[in-house]
Amino acid sequence: MSLDFTGRVAIVTGAGGGLGRQHALALAARGAKVLVNDLGGAVDGSGGSVTAAQRVVDEIRSAGGEALANGASVTDFDAVQDMVRQAVDAWGRVDVLVSNAGILRDKSFAKMELADFRLVLDVHLMGAVHCCKALWPLMTQQKYGRIVLTTSSSGLYGNFGQANYGAAKMALVGLMQTLSIEGMKHDIRVNCLAPTAATRMTEALFPPDMLQAFGPEAVVPAMLVLAGRDAPTRTTLCAGAGAFEAAHVPLPQGLHVGIGPDAPEHLLAQLGAVRDRTGETVPESGAGQGANEMRLARGART
């Protein structure tokens, strides 16, 4: 069960610092050739320089590994395609994508500019889409691929001031759900990672005595499992401070209330039973919801 990446090629976006840097270093330390992508901008996405990516490449090379730097913005699909070609030209294939690039434009929804909402969606959601789209034909042809999308507790559970970020991060879970189904026959496994880590984007949120415990390196084991040969698929792993949890989107058993004119009143009266989580399941696909509703409707006829 050793997590050995010898002979594998990985692309890690947003890898110039924080979580992405730790991901890139860990993959390289276990034998992967790593393309280190980072726009080199500020936390809000402004500016840009390949310097941050090159520093991580230098770290990997000084430890005896192989790495290349790339400064593409994941919002630019043409640049992302060039990034994939850079890796293929150098190493012949790409086995692993860790989609980690992201920015913050936090503000309460009432005060948030729509431009800031769109930009966060563009970087987190469309950036991941661009990377997956550019790699999908290659991974399909190889009959092998491991994709790790970085979601967040803010998407899974919400967080004040992060409507844009939370919407983008939950959208990535939806992307993962479908890509994992479509990729199954090609051994393309797609998962999500929800990290809790003290990085330049989040370190102000942690009490000083917990900064070390929540270092980004503590999230790396989950990434390695999700990116490895024996990875699961359609799994959302949460990770922080050496603790790991799996998050699910369960479907409760529900209740049939009919479709008559008084159905809204019946539903309101029975909402507690509808929300009861006893016997909930995690459907294998979106069809599971319809199948459960069909079961309830048929049961109501008997």
Would you name the residues annotated as active-site residues? Answer: 165
Determine whether 254 is exposed, middle or buried from the number of CB atoms within 10 Å of its CB (0-12, 13-18, 19+). middle
Phi then psi for residue 152, to 5 deg, are -160, 155
User: CA 187 to CA 251: how far, in whole Å?
Assistant: 27
Question: Which pair of tokens denotes residue 133?
Answer: 């789209």
Question: Which pair of tokens denotes residue 302?
Answer: 């008997």
* In the block, residue with structure tokens 């901008």: 41
Residue by residue, DSSP assigns 20-46 as HHHHHHHHHHTT-EEEEE-----TTS-
User: CA 36 to CA 14: how far, in whole Å?
Assistant: 8
Containing 237, the helix (H) or strand (E) segment is strand 236-240
Q: How far apart are the first and last CA of the chain?
A: 50
Phi then psi for residue 278, to 5 deg, are -60, 125
